[in-house]
Structure 1
Amino acid sequence: MIGKLKKGASFGGCVRYVTGKDEAKIIVSDGVLLGTNAEITQSFELQRQLNPRIKKPVGHIALSFKPEDKPRLTDEFMAKIALEYMRMMGITDTLFIIVRHHNTYNPHCHIVYNRINNEGKLISEAHDYRRNEQVTKALKSKYGLTYGTDKSKTSTRKLRNAERAKYEIHNAVKDALKVADSWQKFKNELSKRGVRLELVYKDKERSKVQGIRFCKDGYSFKGTQISREYSFVKLDARLGTEYNRVSPRAESMQGG
């Protein structure tokens, strides 16, 4: 289960999008006149006028689940999870529709809500991306939903820019570790895969290593941003403490 958060200015466009897919179904709603898209949009627009200063009153969240959970995800169960997600995210006392889609292999639904609540106040978005991660993790644990699979199984063609680089680094490190038994071999294997390894030092003299970074396509990530298993301490325990015999000049490590 993952949540993707968006904000927008047009209720009409968002409503048309979420209801326009084949077999789209509103599985739960509150405060909205159901019928035509125009009627649904009008309900949102009327409440929008309570706080016309807000330029992006449209809240749009896509909740996606793993295919393995599909047999359990009846409309009622999906609605229950989505409503609990909203409550935990602080999205309460406002108009919304939750629309289920069947156009992809992954079961998913779209929450469209008014960021202007029933009292005309703006629903807080403070730390919403961090809360989203915490809430989806809590709900996965509570309901026994499937967690993400190994990153190496993710299709990089669907990813973009930094995220794509991150996944490619993950796969490169994983493959390099299969054949490397030393830091030098590890660096060489990464270089073959287009990844540069950098050591992060505690002092200007570079006498003490405190961390590691992986770089690809102009993006740089700490080892732990790729995986907790790729921290400097864990890699050093695996590859042996020869890093202190590698000159600082070799730090860029493209080609060893």
Structure 2
Amino acid sequence: MQDIIKTALIQTPLVWEKPQVNRKVLRQKINELQRDTDLVVLPEMFTSGFTMNPETVAENMEGETMTWMREVAKENEIAITGSIVIREQGKYYNRLLFVYPDGKVEHYDKKHTFTLAGEDKVYDTGTKRLVVEYKGWKICPLICYDLRFPVWARNTENFDLLLFVANWPSPRIGSWDILLKARAVENLCYCIGVNRVGEDHNGHQYPGHSAVYDVLGRQMAFSQKEETLYATPDKEKITYYRDKLRFLDDRDEFQFL
């Protein structure tokens, strides 16, 4: 258990539907991380880009990427998270994997599939949120379009860190910036968003804007280029501001149906 969690946000281009190539590039980036890193966050669909052709890249939970994540996590003594395409019982999921240094895996299936791109017609949706506990931190990881739905991201479990992995394109990047900050403020938690950069197979441009916001919405890290960003959220600040402001005591009670 520790008060700070040093987090690395890998903002990178993705090679279209080439998992082996993307894993190779990401392994090099991860191997070059600062030695005291605790958690590495990769973009949404980090092995393929945001593809609507799941049959070309889909894996199962014992596939090559899952094996790769376990190996890299163990070698570097870090936790790794990001989403990939998973095929399970004949269905496809945009699934976030959270891999611990000891190889333990937890996962979250994207709840809000992106209808504008037809993701809802290709991928099944998740029904449950995930809150992982890592080094004394409660972390709620979500995926891209989930960012637009504050009820789904509401801090009902008193988590410390809200985390979004994404392929968020340039035309709507202003919304990404606003919503990441809003999710931090309304939930009195740290909020991390990791986006990709570059152009995908469909000609969509991705400008990065990966960022970290503290419990008051103050920006701790931000970038618009290919690079790895670092941030060290501090649990003492969460405790201080939640005790001082107590906004979460007044949150509405609700249940997901």
TM-score computed with the length of structure 1 as normaliser? 0.24
Rg: which structure is higher?
Answer: 1
Structure richer in helix, relative to its length: 1
Structure richer in strand, relative to its length: 2
